[in-house]
Amino acid sequence: MERSRQLRLAVVLLTAPFLFAGAAALLLAGTLGFAPTLALASAGFAVSWLAAAGLFASGRREMIEALALVLGITAISAVIVLSGGFASPMTALIAGLAAESFWIARTRRALLAGGLAGVVSLGLAALGGVLGIHFSASLPLAVLWLIPLAYVATLALRFGTSQAEQMSNSASSKSVGIETMMSALVLRLEGTGDVVDASHQAEGVLNVRSDILLGTGFFERIHVGDRVAYLCAVSEVSGGADRRTISIRLRMPAEEDGVRASGYRQFGVELLKLEDAAQVVAIVRDESERAALEHDLARAREEARVAKVESKRMLAAVSHELRTPLNAILGFSDTLQTEIFGRFSNDRQREYVRLIHEAGEHLLSVVNSTLEISKLEAGTYTLHPEAFSFSDAVDTSVAFARADATARAVDVDVAIADNVGVVYCDRRAVQQVLINLLSNAVKFSHANGRVRVTAERTGNRLDFSVADNGIGISADDLERIGEPFAQVRSEATRHVEGTGLGLALVKGLVSLQGGGMTIDSAPGEGTRVSISLPVGVGAEKDKTGRGGKPGIDNEWGNEEYRKTA
């Protein structure tokens, strides 16, 4: 405001001599001649412009304003006297003292001071008449109206511009008010990235004064590795982009309380361009806490990953160590069952040996399944694809499940299409899949139930399924099927023993070969597990033997699609 007031005062001091020179030329050129008129006009220019120079040099606005008012009173009083007195149209210029005072200061006090100056000017003009100073203008009265009318035109132009300026300042003040309420730093940038204005939040956000950020001050605080991204974002917004949001590191000074040392911290910068402004607005927010949280989250994830890997390694190691004593238990119990070293004297001894052997076999199967899953998850399971008859693999797998099926009075039917023939994939993995699916189907079937194995071939893909008419699986339990150690526990499954590793192993072996698995089930209606595998030469998964996404891009890669109730 002070700068604007001084600027308006300087404009009046620099332009007022032109009005005085014009009035002097009209009034005196015909009577005094050209030289005296020019000298008087030059004196007016000299005095007024010296006052403006004094304002620029010292900045003492109050003193220069008083001097300007005195010069205005003197000039207008002289013009009134030279134009013929109060009857002259030049008398209307007295109102200019009040108008100029108000235009410069924009206060009621200034308007009152200008009015008093006009009264003083009238008094001086009247004093000139009393002292006998009389001049009669040689020009027609209509010509004398040129100076007042020209002056009124300048007033209309200036006050119109002033009103538009006030509206702009009002909008700017509202914007500044919003910036004041924000906790973020607001910068106004040129297209080159130089800062032309910075809000007062600089001290709270960056711990520096706002003026330090002007020019290239903000850019110099950006980390070298982030400067290219910052300049590119500014260039894009200047070129017409709506907004850009980037994260940069800014150099921070040490805080006085010693809480934080000097160094770089993470900040988020949102760059946008207002519709009615040529400059780019940058909103800078402190994101150091967010960056710290993201770092802690990443570290926690890494620690969890390492812990998971270590637990799997430990599980694999423990499982591997268990196989040696289990093999000894199975070997000795099998030898005892043959009674090669003499018959047992008690039938209970024979029963105990049988139970030991069965428990050892069960534990060994659990250990083997655990090791297989560990290999799959670690990516160390190696495939050995070969050409073999799929019917032979099914017959072998059914033979493994035949004993349990006979014990539960469950029929196992096999329906293999004639076009299946010889397939090319890992036979051991396929047989393991079939054995696990048949084992689950028999376990969860009702007495006198039925298990059905079907298979057909479409091009280089083999589609086979194992279905039962047993207890089925609910929609909620279906979501957990296929995860290691995930078991369905209900009243209907209390009699079934298991570890939840069978389907997890099936899922891993199928995925490793580039295939997919679907489970269709409903409580009381049974379960159907369908498998699709690439079995053509060259269609198998890459030889790295690593798990993950299937080698062939198809619908089986969608995990959610592969589980339906």
Q: Edge to edge, what strands does the sheet with 461-468 contain?
A: 411-416, 450-458, 461-468, 526-534, 516-522, 563-564
Along the 565 residues of the chain, how does pLDDT read in single tens digits? 677 788 888 888 888 888 777 777 777 766 666 777 788 778 888 888 888 888 888 878 888 888 888 888 888 887 777 777 676 777 777 887 788 888 788 788 888 888 888 788 777 777 766 665 655 555 565 566 777 777 778 777 777 666 555 555 555 544 455 566 667 888 888 888 888 888 888 888 888 888 888 888 899 999 999 999 999 999 888 888 878 899 998 988 876 655 555 688 889 899 988 766 678 888 898 887 777 888 888 889 888 888 877 777 776 677 667 777 888 888 888 888 888 888 888 888 888 888 888 788 777 777 777 777 777 766 667 888 899 999 998 998 888 888 888 888 888 999 999 888 899 998 888 988 998 899 888 888 887 888 999 999 988 889 999 998 888 877 767 766 656 555 555 555 545 555 567 788 888 888 888 888 888 888 878 889 999 999 876 544 443 333 343 333 444 444 433 343 3
Q: How far apart are CA 137 and CA 147, in angstroms?
A: 14
Token digits of residue 464? 């086979």
On whether the pTM is more than 0.95, the answer is no
Token digits of residue 234? 């500014």
The residue written with tokens 């339990």 in the block is 477
Q: Is residue 5 classed as helix, strand or coil in its secondary structure?
A: helix
Answer whether 30's CB lies under 8 Å from 144's CB. Answer: no
Element containing residue 563 per DSSP (H, E): strand 563-564
Q: How far apart are CA 46 and CA 209, in angstroms?
A: 42
Q: How far apart are CA 98 and CA 25, in angstroms?
A: 25
Answer whether 115's CB lies under 8 Å from 108's CB. Answer: no
The 8-class DSSP code of residue 90 comes to G
Q: How far apart are CA 36 and CA 313, in angstroms?
A: 110
What domains are defined for the chain?
2-177 (no CATH), 182-286 (3.30.450.20), 293-378 (1.10.287), 385-564 (3.30.565.10)
Q: Is residue 559 classed as helix, strand or coil in its secondary structure?
A: coil
Handedness of CA 50, 51, 52, 57 (dihedral sign): positive
The residue written with tokens 């946008």 in the block is 272
Q: How far apart are CA 273 and CA 282, in angstroms?
A: 9
